[in-house]
Structures are given as structure tokens and as C-alpha cells.
Structure 1
Amino acid sequence: MTGGKKIVGQPDKHRAIVAGALRLFARDGYSRASLDAIAAEAGVSNRTIYNHFADKADLFQAVIHDSTERVANTMVDIIDRHLSKIVDLESDLIDFGMAWLGVLTSDLAPHFALIRQINAEREHVPAAALRLWRQTGPERTRHELAQRLRRIAERGDLAIEDPTRAAGHLILLISADNLIDPDNDLQSRDETEAMITAGVHAFLHGYEPRSLRPPR
């Protein structure tokens, strides 16, 4: 558990504080979000916040843990659903990419706004919270994706020496347009699918087994 002074018998208050804090941290960032504003957003008093959390850093870490864990669980489920049993590798990777990017505009979207805020003010964010986010989120999901790609490579469908690096390449390639304009959530489904398809093609070209490559 991530620190905090959770009061037994008050789970609703605890959840309300964490949810309100997520909205404020995602909108205003760690430095600018005050406990007064968070209390108002959550519909509780400052005293109630201090009954559950030692200070703003403690609350922020709880928000990071809760939000990142929920997103990571969703991402791991997407990896399992789309890459556990491969029927057509290209098609399965495209479906995986569509589901993966779909999370960005789901009800989990505030998490990604929070991460943008973290990246914008990294030097002001508690180091423990940054470590927790990396371990609970990016490192976990990249590890799970790497393991799936390793198994696909063992079947002979990909040529991968470093599955972790390949996982990073796949994520970057299917997210290319979002990296250029991370606030652009207005792409149509067709535009998103075209971006992901192009990324998957580039990934497969880079990791195609030599036995499948045409002679030069």
C-alpha cells in the first residue's frame, strides 16, 4: 500500500478524495493543485484529507498508485486478449493497437492528462511518486508486451533479439501521430486505424524473419 492514513470504515471518503485529487492534479499539475482546491473538488474538508493522508505528497502518491494500477491492468488485459493467441499477426497487431490507443479516450483519460502534467513539471514532482509510476505503469506494461512478442518470435513469426526494445518500438510506431500532437483526440477511427496500420507495417518490416525476406 502507498502510505497514507486510510481510516477503516471510510472507504467512500477515501475514494472521493483520490478521485477529486486526480482531476485536480491532471488539470493543474502537482505544484499548482492546492489541498483546499482538492478538498472542494472532492466535497470534503481539509481536515478529512489530513485524516487520510499525511500531506500533498502522500496524497499524490496514492493518486499515482491508484490511477496507474487501473490503467496498467487495462493495458495488460489488452495485451492478453489480442496477443496471446495469434491467428493473423498483422491483423492481430492492428487490433491490439486500436484497443491500446482506445484507452487514451476512455474513462481512464484523466490518467494520461496527469502523466502529461508530470512530464511538464518533473523536477517538482516527488521522486518516490515518479518511481512508483514507472514501476507500476510503463515498466510493467512494457515487460508484459515484451513477453508476448518474445513468444511470437519463438514461433518464428518475428526476429527479435531484444523483446523489451521491440516492445518499445511497437508502442512508439502505433502512437506516432499522438506523440507529435498528444492533445489531439479528434482523429476519426479511420485516421487512427491508418496510423496504426502504417506503424504495424513498419514494425513488421523491421522485425521480419530473414527467411521471409525477398532476396536482394
Structure 2
Amino acid sequence: MTQREEAAEGGQKPLRKGMAEKRQAITGGARTVFGREGYTRASIDAIAAEAGVSTRTIYNHFGDKENLFRAVLLESAASVTAATEGLFERHLRKVRDIEEDLLDFARDWVGQAEAHPGHFAVVRQIIPEGSRLPADVLAEWQRIGPQATQEALGRWLLELGGQGLLAVDATNARKAARHLALLVGGGVTAESYFGALPLAQGAVDEIVRDGVEIFLRLYGV
């Protein structure tokens, strides 16, 4: 019995599963290579070797390197955004002590880079290569990644403002979210050179605490 006949007899489930697993192997290998080499230097041959597939398989699934990069960056950005929104939900739904709860939240938030190292390795490569990357891909990454995260954070800060815990309302919620992101995540990013130089936990804690304290001076009640 041929593979096609076997797939037909089984309702095509084995074939579909195999295709999904192959695609996952390709995107995983590509994420590793793009994160290590950057977009320009990464080759389809290197990605194929990392993924354990042929170059023909990659072209059959994605067409070219640009489409593969688009899939890798946007899919991982969506995944990280969803995980971050879950973190917002976990920490900010029931706030009892605004300073301590924000500190706990911020510590977990900056830990996202360690939780999703492959994605942030690719993002780190975007900084020096931005002018050589497809503009529409970068715009879509911003929309479903950083912008979506800040918009979600703004909604949570607005909710805390409605509870009287922060001086945040509809006029400044987006700005408050941007400030918190810069003071906490931006501080760790700058000190670690976008994760290239891992920071000691004590240094991370100091940046997070300073960032939350400054944020509360701006938006505390």
C-alpha cells in the first residue's frame, strides 16, 4: 500500500500529522539559525541541516527564505504575546498591594526572555538588520508583538486605575503602559545588550525595583 493509499484509508490523518511535524521541525530549525546567524546570513541549507529535512522540503512548505522568516517571527511573536497576556491576567486581576504585586509581575515579565529564548534571539538580530528586513514583516511583528502587548497592559492598568490603585484613566493608559515597559523591560534590555550579556539576578531585581518605584511616582495615588 502506498503512502497516499494509507493516508486515504486513515482519513489522511497520518499524512496531515506528518506534515505538521515536518513544518514544526522546519520552523524550529529556522528559529535557531535565524537567531544565531541573522536573516541575511542564514541560508536555507543551514536551516535544512538544523531541521533535519531537505532544502526541497523547506521550499515546498514556505516557498522562499522571506516567507519562512515571516512565519517564524510572526508565529513566535503571537505565542509570546499570548503567554504575556496570561501573565498579565495572573498578576493583575487581583491586586492587593500595588507596589508588591507590580514587583512580582515585573519580575515575571522580564523573565519572558528566558522562557522564550529562541524568539528573543531572533528579535535581537532584528536590531542590527532592521534596514535589510522586509518592512511589511517588521510592521506585522510590531502589531502582533510589542504593540499588542502594550495595548493589553494598558487595559490592565486602566482597570487598576478604575479601582483607585493607580492614577490611570482612558487619557493616559497607553502612555502608562509604554512607561512601565520602558522602565522595567527596557532597563533590563539595555543593561544586557538585548540579552547578549546575561545579568545576575541581583542586577535584574535592582532594575525592576527601580523601574516600579519610578512608575509609581508617576502614576501612584
> Does residue 203 in structure 1 map to residue 193 in structure 2?
no
Displacement of 1:69: 1.2
Match of 1:185 in 2: 198
Stretch deviating more after TM superposition (36-45 or 123-132): 123-132
Match of 1:77 in 2: 86
After superposition, residues 1-216 of structure 1 pair within 5 angstroms as 8-9=16-17, 10-106=19-115, 108-160=116-168, 161-175=171-185, 176-182=187-193, 183-188=196-201, 190-209=202-221
**Larger relative contact order (CA 8 Å, sep ≥ 6):** 1
Displacement of 1:197: 1.1
Aligned CA RMSD, in angstroms, stands at: 1.4
1:32-68, Cα deviation, whole Å (9 max, x unpaired): 0011111111010011001101111111111012211
Q: What is the aligned residue count?
A: 201
2:88 corresponds to which letter in structure 1? Answer: I
Query: How far apart, CA to CA, are the structure 2 residues paired with 1:104 and 1:11?
Result: 26
Is contact 2:157–2:173 with CA below 8 Å preserved after alignment? yes
Identity between Structure 1 and Structure 2 (%) = 40
Query: How far apart, CA to CA, are the structure 2 residues paired with 1:178 and 1:138?
Result: 14
Runs (5+) with no aligned partner, structure 2? 1-14
Query: How far apart, CA to CA, are the structure 2 residues paired with 1:149 and 1:67?
Result: 25
Displacement of 1:87: 0.8
Displacement of 1:172: 1.2
1:88-144, Cα deviation, whole Å (9 max, x unpaired): 1101100011100111112x1121111111121111111221122111111111010
1:138 corresponds to which letter in structure 2? Answer: P
1:196 corresponds to which letter in structure 2? Answer: V
Query: How far apart, CA to CA, are the structure 2 residues paired with 1:60 and 1:155?
Result: 43
Larger Rg computed on CA atoms? 2
Is contact 2:31–2:72 with CA below 8 Å preserved after alignment? yes
Match of 1:214 in 2: none
Is contact 2:192–2:199 with CA below 8 Å preserved after alignment? no
2:163 corresponds to which letter in structure 1? Answer: R
Which structure has more helix as a fraction of its residues?
2
TM-score by length of 2: 0.86
Displacement of 1:194: 2.2
TM-score by length of 1: 0.88
